[in-house]
A and B are shown apart, each in its own frame.
Chain A
Amino acid sequence: MEEKVKSFIEQILIDNGEEDCLKNYSLNANLKDDLGLDSFSLALLTVQIEDEFDIDVFDNGYIPKTVGDIISQL
């Protein structure tokens, strides 16, 4: 599960030309501040996770801030 989420994030960062941010990857990595995910990237990540796991990680107003926050919802 975590590997899948990591692969989504990796691909998004590669597509954005921001591979450098991959070195910051960890469960505690902040999605915006550490991984540099912008609005478009977060939208893409959310859609990909929903497609893969059929779970909306932002459901019920929850706001995941880190990779670990996302994993905890899956």
Chain B
Amino acid sequence: MIDFLDITEEDLETIRTWRTSQPVTRYQYTDPNISEQDQIKWFDNIKKDTTSIYKIIRYKNKQKIGLVSFTEIDELNRRCVWGFYIGDEAARARGLGAVSTYFILNYVFENLKMNKILAEVLAFNKEALKLNHKFGFHQEAHYRQHRFKYGEFHDSYGFALLKSDWIKNKSYFEKIFSNGRKS
């Protein structure tokens, strides 16, 4: 149902459109003005960065719907930070953020062989907070006035999921979102 593709130069304009759209930027730490040149520079930088992986999220083998990032990849401690967004409006409306989360967690623990995945969520991003709880993430931190956005400071929360947590929980999500469904 969901798979992940390497980013190519042909994707850069789509990513730039997604990243600068209001439904996406409102929950990011920054609201950037990204030029075509900025986007090319960003792509060059991530290609060289050995501690990060960025992938396009694709739905049903045909529709590119968003972007997922794995950053601060720590091979020694087998942990990384993740983030994602669904840039496509129809995909967001049908809950593909939740579906993608299931496949992302499988990818990070099975393909990337991580033991722990971490995320920071802005306190006003209620949808993401619910999603983290739903998938069994533990809140490990509360960062007070941690991000400055829209003219004021906002709290954020640090969430983490261990591979052992995921193994315990994944069968529930597998039944709902597994690859064997009409994909």
Contact = CB atoms under 8 A, between A and B. Distances in A.
Interface of A: 38-47, 50, 58, 61-65
Nearest to B181: A47
* Interface residue SS majority, chain A: helix
A45 to B, nearest CB: 8
A58 B89 CA distance: 11
Q: What size tier do the contact residues of chain B reach? A: 10 to 19
Contacts of A39: 92, 95-98, 127, 130-131
A57 to B, nearest CB: 8
Given A38-B127, A63-B89, A46 B94 contact: yes
B89 A43 contact: no
A38 B130 contact: yes
Contacts of A43: 94-99, 176-177
A18 B43 CA distance: 43
A27 to B, nearest CB: 18
Majority-rule SS of B interface residues: helix
Contacts of B97: 39, 43
Interface string B110-147: 00000000000000000100110010000000000000
Given A39-B127, A58-B93, 15 more contacts: A38-B127, A38-B131, A39-B92, A39-B95, A39-B96, A39-B98, A43-B176, A44-B176, A45-B95, A46-B94, A47-B181, A58-B94, A63-B89, A63-B90, A64-B93
Contacts of A45: 95
Q: What are the 8 tightest A-B residue pairs by CB atom distance, in nearest-first order? A: A43-B95, A42-B95, A40-B98, A43-B98, A39-B97, A39-B98, A58-B94, A39-B95
B168 interface: no
A40 B95 contact: yes
A16 B97 CA distance: 18
